[in-house]
Structure 1
């Protein structure tokens, strides 16, 4: 089975799992189909020397997982399954396209940054109302402040407007770090990217009509800025052998 053939099977498994866990198809109706597809996928995945990310070979096992209490909403179940399959699907698509798999760690080594953005992701999966989605925005803002404090050195990095930033002025610190560290035409784009993520987090925190899409966009933008800073600082460089 080629990578291109395996991808739709994995998508099918994910969609069946989402359906039965969100009020769609009944397990009794689709379990046999799921079992057969799971066995084919499991063999194909392991033949590539890859660990199968989905441990639920039977839909009743999946039912036991989602009904255990920590995936109480339809959205939390969808997000769980999306994150479960995302790395494997990306690797297979990269391989099918002839690209090598990307081996970038999610953690940065800045403990407070990693802890806060991890908490934001968890809150996003559990959020059901405006106040909870706003709380995700607050955590994203705190993650950016912690990030700025981790990378910005006032003795080395100078802000473009000449103002010395306060300890919580993430926008000015991140902009100063980027402009002092990177040279060339990419500076302005990078600064805009950091400012946009910070502004989005602050806006979401105060928006009374915050919803899942806005909160998810905020988490994604914040994560992107964190990864950009990790790359600029050398924390994504390959380890020397």
Structure 2
């Protein structure tokens, strides 16, 4: 332990103790024992106050915590063992409860298997302990996911791609072409504009992340969120194109909670579950 490290830790311990109103002034601090059996350096400090004694455990990847030296923790070894056991349990709980970043927003990409797999890889890889080069690799995975989406769109409508003279690897060109195709008309002009901006943001931000060596955790997370949101956007524009936004609504209250009931043979009425309004449905004869 270097003198500089000792001074820094003693300062941190004093600041830490100030957060407890029921602990009196510290009168003495010394490092009682250092443990390395788990592959990391963990120190146990013997801290005396005016009326009590404590063990303070801290070190590499070990959050600082204090334990009273009464009947509960008689030795530095006992305090160390309890602290590391508690830390490992908390880490295990965190891993069990961990939610991928891509679970933070509702996505409709489960059926896009190759894209979904790459985004899950990027999400699992994302960690605050990564080096700059590894953040770059997340940007690369995100960019590859966007290119995979471009290929998927091209396979859906090769005629449109051929007409526009687009290449499968041209994500921005392909995405913008399908935005025009999925939501045409003046009534969708604002949505087309916002969609194109999101497509450009996702591609540009991922490209910047790939080529930058000074990006950090938030940058990689933002890139992943941009990517997931863009892919989900294109899929929902596709649903809109299929007519999923043309659901029948109650003419009285506007609710979409509609139930269809056949009250006579080949005769159907829609009943609103909110206001019980009933309307007969007439089918146009061919």
Does residue 218 (structure 1) correspond to residue 223 (structure 2)? The answer is: yes
> For 1:27 and 1:112, how far apart are their aligned partners in 2?
48
Which structure would you say has the larger Rg? 2
> For 1:23 and 1:190, how far apart are their aligned partners in 2?
45
Structure with the bigger percentage of helix: 1
Instruction: Give 1:83 deviation, angstroms.
Output: 2.4
CA separation of 1:126 and 1:116: change in aligned 2, threshold 3 A: farther
Deviations 1:208-231 (A, max 9, x none): 212111111100100101111221
Between the two proteins, the alignment pairs up a number of residues equal to 164
Q: Contact between 1:149 and 1:167, CA under 8 Å: does it hold in 2?
A: yes
Structure with more relative contact order (C-alpha pairs < 8 Å, separation 6 or more): 1
Partner of residue 160, structure 2: 157
Unaligned runs of 5+ in 1: 1-21, 30-58, 69-76, 91-101
Unaligned runs of 5+ in 2: 1-60, 69-83, 246-258, 260-286
> For 1:216 and 1:199, how far apart are their aligned partners in 2?
15
**Of 193, 202, 207, which aligns to 1:202?**
207
> For 1:106 and 1:80, how far apart are their aligned partners in 2?
24
Q: Tell me the TM-score normalised to structure 2 length.
A: 0.47
Instruction: Give 1:234 deviation, angstroms.
Output: 2.5
**Of 45, 66, 80, which aligns to 2:91?**
66
Over the aligned positions, Cα root-mean-square deviation in angstroms equals: 4.0
Q: Contact between 1:127 and 1:133, CA under 8 Å: does it hold in 2?
A: no
> For 1:86 and 1:202, how far apart are their aligned partners in 2?
20
Partner of residue 141, structure 1: 143
> For 1:145 and 1:112, how far apart are their aligned partners in 2?
11
Secondary structure at 2:179's aligned position in 1?
Answer: helix
Partner of residue 171, structure 1: 172
Deviations 1:172-222 (A, max 9, x none): 111111111112211111011111101111110011212111111100100
Q: Contact between 1:113 and 1:146, CA under 8 Å: does it hold in 2?
A: yes
Partner of residue 17, structure 1: none
Deviations 1:93-113 (A, max 9, x none): xxxxxxxxx9x5664301111
